[in-house]
A and B are shown apart, each in its own frame.
Chain A
Amino acid sequence: MEAMLEIAGVVTAYGKIEALKGVSLSANRGRITCLLGPNGAGKTTLMMTTAGVLKPRQGSIKLEGNELVGLSPARIVGNGVALVPENRLVFPQMSVRENLLAGAYQRNDSGEVAADVEQMYARFPRLKERREQLAGTLSGGEQQMLAVARALMSRPRLLLMDEPSLGLAPIVVKEIFGIIAELNREGVTIFLVEQNAHLALQVAHHFYLMEQGRVTFSGNPGELAEDEVIKRAYLGTRRSAG
Chain B
Amino acid sequence: MIPFIQTTLDGLMVGSSYGLLALGFALIFGVMRRLNLSYGPSIMVGAYLGTLLYIQFGAPTYVVAIVAVAGSVMAGVYVERLCFAPLGVGAGVASMVSSFAIWMQLEQASLLMLPRHSYPFPSLTSSELLSLGPLVVRPDYLIMLAAMLAITAALHVLLYRTRFGLGLRAIVENSVAASLSGIDVQSTMLKAFALASAIGGVAGFLVLSANQQVTAMLGMWATLKGLIAMMIGGLGSIPGAIVGGLVLGVIEVHSQTLFGPQVRDLAAYGVLFVLLVLRPGGIFGTTAISESVGHRGGDRWTTT
Q: Do chains A and B touch in the complex (CB under 8 A)?
A: yes
In B162-178, which residues have CB < 8 Å from any A CB? 163, 166-167, 169-170, 173-174, 176-178
* A41-B304, A44-B304, A93-B288 known; A102-B184 Cβ under 8 A: no
Stretch at the interface among A2-10, A84-92, A198-206: A84-92
Q: How long is the Cα–Cα vector from A43 to B303 in the complex, in angstroms? A: 8
B304 touches A163 (CB 8 A): yes
If the complex has contacts A91-B173, A94-B169, A94-B173, are A102 and B181 also in contact, measured as CB distance less than 8 A?
yes
Known contacts A72-B184, A74-B183; is A102 also within 8 Å of B178 by CB? Answer: yes
Q: Chain B residues near A104 (CB, 8 Å)? A: 182
Contact present for A85 and B304 (CB under 8 Å): no
**Chain A, range 80-132, C-beta contacts under 8 Å to B:** 82-83, 85-87, 89-94, 98, 101-106
Judged by a CB distance under 8 angstroms, whether B105 is at the interface is no
- Give Cα distance in the complex from A45 to B176, angstroms: 14
Measured CB to CB, the closest approach of chain B to A116, in angstroms, equals: 14
Once bound together, how far apart are the Cα atoms of A44 and B301, in whole Å? Answer: 9
Asked if A53 meets B176 with Cβ closer than 8 Å, knowing A93-B288, A102-B167, A154-B182, the reply is yes
B178 proximity list for chain A (CB < 8 A): 91, 102
Q: Are B170 and A195 in contact (CB under 8 A)?
A: no
Q: In the complex the two chains form, is A154's CB within 8 Å of B169's CB?
A: no
- In the complex, the answer to whether A94 meets B182 with C-beta atoms within 8 Å is no
Q: Are B182 and A83 in contact (CB under 8 A)?
A: no
Contact residue among A39, A45, A74 (Cβ-Cβ distance under 8 Å from B179): A74
Whether A101 contacts B166 by the Cβ 8 Å rule is yes
Distance between Cα atoms of A223 and B174 in the complex (Å): 41
Residues B274-304 near A (CB distance < 8 A): 288, 301-304
How many chain A residues touch B (Cβ–Cβ < 8 Å)? 42
For B301, give its contact among A48, A77, A193 (CB under 8 Å): A48
Task: Known A44-B301, A86-B304; judge A91-B182 contact (CB<8 A).
Answer: no
Known contacts A94-B169, A94-B170; A102/B301 CB under 8 A: no
**Is A187 positioned at the interface, with any CB of B under 8 Å from its CB?**
no
Residue from A43, A83, A101, A195 in contact with B180 in the complex, judged by beta carbons closer than 8 Å: A83
Residues A92 and B173 in contact, CB atoms below 8 Å apart: yes
Q: A39-B304, A41-B304 are in contact. Are A91 and B179 (CB under 8 A)?
A: no
Quick check: is B186 within 8 A (CB to CB) of the other chain? yes
A60 to chain B, nearest CB (A): 21
Q: Which residue of A19, A52, A93, A154 contacts B181 across the interface (Cβ within 8 Å)?
A: A154
A-B contact count (CB 8 A): 96
The CB with the most chain B CB atoms within 10 A, among A82, A92, A93, is that of A93
A150 at the interface (CB under 8 A from B): yes
Q: A53-B179, A72-B184, A105-B183 are in contact. Are A85 and B301 (CB under 8 A)?
A: yes
- Name the distance in Å between A46's Cβ and chain B's nearest Cβ: 10
Task: Evaluate contact between A85 and B177: CB separation under 8 angstroms.
Answer: yes
How far, in angstroms, from A150 to B166 measured CA to CA in the complex? Answer: 14
Cα A53 to Cα B169 in complex, Å, equals: 19
Within 8 Å CB of A77, what residues of B?
180-182
- Given the known inter-chain contacts A105-B163, A105-B183, please indicate yes or no for A44 contacting B303, CB distance below 8 A: yes
Kindly state the separation between the CA atoms of A116 and B134 in the bound complex, as whole angstroms.
Answer: 59
Contact of B182 among A39, A87, A98, A106 (CB under 8 A): A106
Expressed in whole angstroms, the minimum distance between the Cβ of A121 and any Cβ of chain B is 18
B94 interface residue per 8 A CB criterion: no
- Given contacts A72-B186, A91-B174, A94-B173, whether A193 and B179 have CB atoms under 8 Å apart is no
Q: How far is the CA of A92 from the CA of B172 in the complex (A)?
A: 11
A89 touches B180 (CB 8 A): yes
* B positions within 8 Å CB-CB of A: 163, 166-167, 169-170, 173-174, 176-186, 288, 301-304
28 contacts between A and B (CB under 8 A): A41-B304, A44-B304, A45-B303, A72-B179, A73-B179, A73-B180, A74-B185, A77-B180, A85-B177, A86-B302, A87-B301, A89-B177, A91-B178, A94-B166, A94-B169, A101-B163, A101-B166, A102-B167, A102-B170, A102-B183, A103-B181, A105-B166, A105-B170, A105-B181, A105-B182, A105-B183, A106-B182, A162-B304
Residues of A within 8 A of B (CB): 19, 39-45, 48, 51-53, 72-74, 77-78, 82-83, 85-87, 89-94, 98, 101-106, 150-151, 154, 162-163, 193, 195
Q: Which 9 A-B pairs have the closest CB atoms?
A: A77-B182, A89-B177, A73-B179, A106-B182, A74-B184, A91-B173, A105-B182, A44-B303, A102-B181
Known interface pairs A101-B166, A102-B167; 17 further A-B residue pairs with C-beta atoms within 8 A, sorted by A's residue number: A39-B304, A73-B180, A82-B180, A85-B176, A85-B180, A86-B304, A91-B173, A93-B288, A94-B170, A98-B166, A98-B169, A102-B166, A104-B182, A105-B181, A151-B180, A162-B304, A193-B304
